[in-house]
Chains A and B, each alone.
Chain A
Amino acid sequence: MTELLSKEVKAEIDRWLKKYPEDQKRSALLPALRFTQEANDNWLSEDLVKAVAEYLDQPHIAAFEVATFYHMYNLKPVGRYQLNVCGSISCKLCDCKGIVDHLKQKLDINVGDTTKDGKFTLKEVGCLAACVNAPMMQINKDYHENLTPERVDSILETLE
Chain B
Amino acid sequence: MANDVCFRTMHLDDPASLKTYESLGGYKMWRKILKEKTPPAEIIDTLKTSALRGRGGAGFPVGLKWSFIRRDLPGQKYIICNSDEGEPGTCKDRLILRYNPHSVIEGMAIGGYVMNATVGYNYLRGEFTEPYEVMEKALVEAYAAGYLGKEVFGSDVDFDLYNHLGAGAYICGEETALMESLEGKKGFPRFKPPFPANFGVYGKPSNVNNTESYASVPLILEKGGDWFLELGKPNNGGVRVYSVSGHVNKPGNYELPLGTPFKDLLEIAGGVRNGHKLKAVIPGGTSMPILPADIIMETDMDFDSVQKAGSLLGTAAVVVMDETTCMVDALLNITGFYSEESCGQCTPCREGSGWVERLLHKIEHGQGTPEDLANLERVANNIAGRTICALGESVAWPVGSFIKHFREEFEYHVKHKKCMVAGA
Residues in chain A within 8 A of chain B (CB atoms) = 19, 21, 24-31, 33-34, 56, 58, 62, 65-66, 69-73, 87-90, 92-94, 126-134, 138, 141-143
Q: Does B170 contact A (CB under 8 A)?
A: yes
Which residues of chain B have C-beta atoms less than 8 A from A134's C-beta? 245-246, 251
Which residues of chain A have C-beta atoms less than 8 A from B253's C-beta? 132
- A73-B169 Cα distance, complex, nearest whole Å: 11
Task: Say yes or no: A69 contacts B169, CB within 8 Å.
Answer: yes
> What are 7 A-B residue pairs whose CB atoms fall within 8 Å in the complex?
A29-B184, A69-B187, A70-B126, A89-B337, A90-B319, A132-B252, A141-B130
- A90-B317 Cα distance, complex, nearest whole Å: 10
- A93-B197 Cα distance, complex, nearest whole Å: 40
Which residues of chain B have C-beta atoms less than 8 A from A129's C-beta? 85-86, 90-91, 93-94, 125, 127-128
- Smallest CB gap from B133: residue in A: A141
Task: Say yes or no: A130 contacts B94, CB within 8 Å.
Answer: yes
Which residues of chain A have C-beta atoms less than 8 A from B109's C-beta? none
Task: Say yes or no: A19 contacts B162, CB within 8 Å.
Answer: yes
Task: Say yes or no: B165 contacts A31, CB within 8 Å.
Answer: yes
Q: Does B421 contact A (CB under 8 A)?
A: no
Task: Say yes or no: B333 contacts A87, CB within 8 Å.
Answer: yes
**How far, in Å, is A23 (CB) from chain B's closest CB?**
9
**How far, in Å, is B282 (CB) from chain A's closest CB?**
8
Which residues of chain B have C-beta atoms less than 8 A from A65's C-beta? 185-186
Task: Say yes or no: A33 contacts B337, CB within 8 Å.
Answer: no
Task: Say yes or no: A130 contacts B164, CB within 8 Å.
Answer: no
- Smallest CB gap from A24: residue in B: B202
Which residues of chain B have C-beta atoms less than 8 A from A24's C-beta? 183-184, 202
Task: Say yes or no: B286 contacts A89, CB within 8 Å.
Answer: yes
Task: Say yes or no: A89 contacts B89, CB within 8 Å.
Answer: yes
- A30-B179 Cα distance, complex, nearest whole Å: 13
- A71-B202 Cα distance, complex, nearest whole Å: 24
Which residues of chain A have C-beta atoms less than 8 A from B76's C-beta? 21
Q: Does B328 contact A (CB under 8 A)?
A: no
Known contacts A127-B87, A129-B94, A130-B94; decide if A66 and B166 are in contact (CB<8 Å). no
- A129-B173 Cα distance, complex, nearest whole Å: 13
- A11-B223 Cα distance, complex, nearest whole Å: 45
Task: Say yes or no: B251 contacts A133, CB within 8 Å.
Answer: yes
**Contact indicator per residue, chain B 193-229, by CB within 8 Å of chain A (1) or not (0):** 0000000001000000000000000000000000000
Q: Does B233 contact A (CB under 8 A)?
A: no
- A138-B129 Cα distance, complex, nearest whole Å: 11
Which residues of chain A have C-beta atoms less than 8 A from B130's C-beta? 141-143
- A131-B316 Cα distance, complex, nearest whole Å: 12
Residue among B167, B186, B202, B333 making CB contact with A33, cutoff 8 Å: B167
- A72-B247 Cα distance, complex, nearest whole Å: 30
Known contacts A34-B165, A69-B187; decide if A126 and B246 are in contact (CB<8 Å). no
Which residues of chain A have C-beta atoms less than 8 A from B181's C-beta? 30
Task: Say yes or no: B321 contacts A28, CB within 8 Å.
Answer: no
Q: Does B17 contact A (CB under 8 A)?
A: no
Which residues from 287 to 321 on chain B have a C-beta closer than 8 Å to any C-beta of chain A?
A: 317, 319-321
Task: Say yes or no: B127 contacts A131, CB within 8 Å.
Answer: no
**How far, in Å, is B205 (CB) from chain A's closest CB?**
14
Task: Say yes or no: A127 contacts B86, CB within 8 Å.
Answer: yes
Known contacts A89-B89, A89-B246, A131-B90; decide if A72 and B127 are in contact (CB<8 Å). yes
Which residues from 231 to 284 on chain B have a C-beta closer than 8 Å to any C-beta of chain A?
A: 243-247, 251-253, 282
Q: Does B348 contact A (CB under 8 A)?
A: no
Q: Does B330 contact A (CB under 8 A)?
A: yes
- Smallest CB gap from A56: residue in B: B184
